[in-house]
Amino acid sequence: MTPLLSLKDIVTKVNTGTPNEVMILQHLNLDIYDGDFITVLGSNGAGKSTLFNTIGGGLPVDEGHITLHGKDITHTSVEKRTAFLARVFQDPKMGTAPRMTVAENLLLALHRGKRRTLRLRRLKQQLPHFKAITTTMQNGLETRLNTATENLSGGQRQALSFLMATEQRPDLLLLDEHTAALDPKTSAELMHQTNERVTQENLTCLMITHHLDDALKYGNRLIVLDQGKIKFDVRGDEKKQLTKEKLLSFFDTIE
Amino acid sequence: MSMIVSSVGQGLLWASLGVALFLTFRILDFADMTVEGTFPLGAAVAVTAISNGMNPYLASGLAFVAGAIAGLVTALLYTKGKVPFLLAGILVMTACSSINLRVMGGSSNISLLGKTTIFSSHFLESLPKYFDSVFVGFVVIAIITGLLIIFLQTNLGQAFIVTGDNRVMARSIGINTDNMTIMGLMVSNGIIGLGGALIAQNNGYADVSMGIGIIVIALASIIIGEVVFGELTLNQRLVAVTLGSIIYQFVRLLVLQLGFNTNDMNLLSALILALCLMLPQLNKGASRLTSRFGNLMQQLTHTLKKGVEKP
């Protein structure tokens, strides 16, 4: 089976050509298959965010190749990659347009990766659909469709970001600690909703988290990044049998 | 009475500058200094073309194109050259001052005396004094505002708005924010160039120094509109800019009646605008006084901080 997305021998450097040059991803290899729900663990500076930026196209790759369905996308721009890729950021402020309404944000994301033309936006026709999908988040978002997103709570904003990322089914969903900025209860609720949606729709997903419990509980594959390489990669039954103690002892061996 | 009609006419003619700057200043969140160069550029291009026998409507269109090209240069400096936007605007503005002199064949002032302008039609000349500028100003600003209102409701227009609101998010849903910035600056400066062409034809001359203080006048129309009319939808805000522009002309008339002369106007405009822009800071001091004045200030601040929000 060809992987959905394949990273081959990826090297990503920052401050290239200066005395401060640092190699963040060091010949990293990763194959992501259709239906993978991968939780990504790693200490600060391990290269998790760099991995996401490399997949997203925000950081140029210094060496190696990225392929999607076998097609080389190493040099494809951020905007073009959004045709198959959706992303939820850690910061609730980053994923939504603050002065536009919830419905307007949803409408913008509905056209993710498509050409924006001079056709009228037709917001009204979409409202029933938006009402339906916001209701599934069970946090009152459906009553705030005409509210500017800057007036939403952090939890509602993140739920909206998540909906925006998934309403137009992406081939690959990147969740960058998307519940980290929320209080424990709201965080748990969004995590639950995330899991429901990803498993029901069989989305392929990479999720960075610092919660070992979440990393163990959710997903069907777990990887650990350290010093720009994937040091640990388990899936299926092997992942189910993994315990927090085993993970912690593994972390001790790499530090 | 004729002074009032004249002010309304001037307000309508100058409104296109406010609306153009609204696109960059309020929607793209980008204070575009280029306009100080594109306004006299539009005037110079149109007047020179008309003096050489070109149809005045075609000449005004040419002024739009010239303005758009200047906007393109600023946009490329900013998006591709990574020059800070304020500096990019200043560079193009400065370059324009040389280009304007070239366009005008080295003279700093060209008169349109005896030439056919868009104000020379039989219909406009049959109107009472100053009503010609009211008519032309109204038609032009109505068309520009109407087209922009429709544009902002399209998918492309929405992509343009979100570029100014959250660039990171815009990119993450596949919007090429560089292209949106280029488009916005081209359209905005095109309208400014057209405004320069209209005002030069209305004045009967083009002068290389006519761009000085333009950005302040345009910003004043936007901010007066916002302060006076408060909470509005995006479409209403576009219309409010025109009303703000007319109010600005009335203030100007009042100031002149008080005995100041036209040379003082840039100083006074800058003072009014500075006060309006400082409202949020003044409010911080005022909020300690829990008075009705404080409440009023808070409302004003809220209005001023508001960007492209809709209710």
CATH code for position B82? 1.10.3470
Angstrom CA distances, B41 to B90, B137, B199, stand at 14, 19, 12
List CB contacts (< 8 A) between A104 and chain B. Answer: 158, 310
Q: Which residue bears the tokens 């992406």? A: A170
pLDDT, position B311: 35
Phi, psi of A85, deg, nearest 5: -120, 135
Looking at the structure of chain B, the number of domains it has is: 1
Cβ distance A173 to A206 under 8 Å? yes
Residue B54 token pair: 């070109």
Cβ distance B286 to B293 under 8 Å? yes
Gap from B60 CA to chain A (nearest CA, Å): 25
pLDDT tens-digit map of B59-107: 999 999 999 999 999 999 999 999 999 999 999 999 999 999 999 999 9
pLDDT, position B281: 77
Using CA atoms, how far apart are residues A163 and B289, in angstroms rounded to an integer? 44
CB pair distance less than 8 Å for B174 and A83 = yes
Residue B100 token pair: 């304007």
List CB contacts (< 8 A) between B174 and chain A. Answer: 79-80, 82-83, 111-114
- Residue among B155, B170, B309 whose CB faces A121 most closely: B155
CATH of the domain at A64: 3.40.50.300
pLDDT, position B306: 53
CB pair distance less than 8 Å for A114 and B161 = no
Cβ distance B216 to B266 under 8 Å? yes
Cβ distance B22 to B207 under 8 Å? no
Q: If contacts are CB pairs under 8 Å, which of residues 134-173 in chain B contact chain A?
A: 150-151, 153-159, 161-162, 165-166, 168-173
Cβ distance A109 to A167 under 8 Å? yes
ipTM more than 0.95? no
Find the domain containing B211 and state its range.
2-305
Gap from B41 CA to chain A (nearest CA, Å): 29
| A37-41 and A221-226 beta bridge pairing | parallel
List CB contacts (< 8 A) between B27 and chain A. Answer: none
Q: Could you give the percent of chain B with pLDDT greater than 90?
A: 72
The reply to whether A82 touches chain B by the CB within 8 Å rule is yes
Strand A221-226: give its sheet, edge to edge: A85-88, A172-176, A205-208, A37-41, A221-226, A229-235
Using CA atoms, how far apart are residues A39 and A56, in angstroms rounded to an integer? 17
Using CA atoms, how far apart are residues A41 and A208, in angstroms rounded to an integer? 6
| A22-32 and B109-111 beta bridge pairing | unpaired
CB atoms within 10 A of CB B289: 10
Using CA atoms, how far apart are residues B112 and B43, in angstroms rounded to an integer? 11
CB pair distance less than 8 Å for A95 and B172 = yes
CB pair distance less than 8 Å for B162 and A117 = no
Using CA atoms, how far apart are residues A67 and A34, in angstroms rounded to an integer? 14
Query: Which region holds residue B259: left if phi is over 0, alpha if psi is between -120 and 50, else beta?
Result: left
pLDDT tens-digit map of A4-35: 999 999 999 988 888 888 889 999 999 999 99
Please, where are the H alpha helices in B153-291? 155-165, 167-172, 177-203, 214-229, 234-257, 265-286
B61 within some domain: yes
B87 within some domain: yes
List CB contacts (< 8 A) between B176 and chain A. Answer: 77, 79
Find the domain containing A137 and state its range.
5-254
List CB contacts (< 8 A) between A120 and chain B. Answer: 150, 153-155
Q: If contacts are CB pairs under 8 Å, which of residues 102-131 in chain A contact chain B?
A: 104, 107-109, 111-114, 116-121
B311 within some domain: no
Report the length, in residues, of chain A.
255
B94 within some domain: yes
Looking at the structure of chain A, the number of domains it has is: 1
pLDDT, position B290: 55
pLDDT tens-digit map of B210-267: 999 999 999 999 998 988 888 889 999 999 999 999 999 999 899 889 988 888 888 8
pLDDT, position B310: 41
The closest alpha carbon to A65, from A10, A1, A3, belongs to A10
Residue A172 token pair: 């690959």
CB atoms within 10 A of CB A159: 28
Does residue A108 carry a pLDDT above 70?
yes
pLDDT tens-digit map of A31-71: 999 999 999 999 888 899 999 999 999 999 999 999 999 99
Gap from A31 CA to chain B (nearest CA, Å): 23
Cβ distance A190 to A155 under 8 Å? yes
Does residue B292 carry a pLDDT above 70?
no
Handedness of CA A93, A99, A101, A104 (dihedral sign): negative
User: What pairs with residue B267 in β-bridges?
Assistant: none
Q: Which residue bears the tokens 């100031």? A: B255
Over residues A127-133, the mean pLDDT reads 95
> Which residue from A minimizes the CA distance to B174?
A79
pTM as predicted: 0.90
List CB contacts (< 8 A) between B310 and chain A. Answer: 100-101, 104, 148
User: What pairs with residue A148 in β-bridges?
Assistant: A101
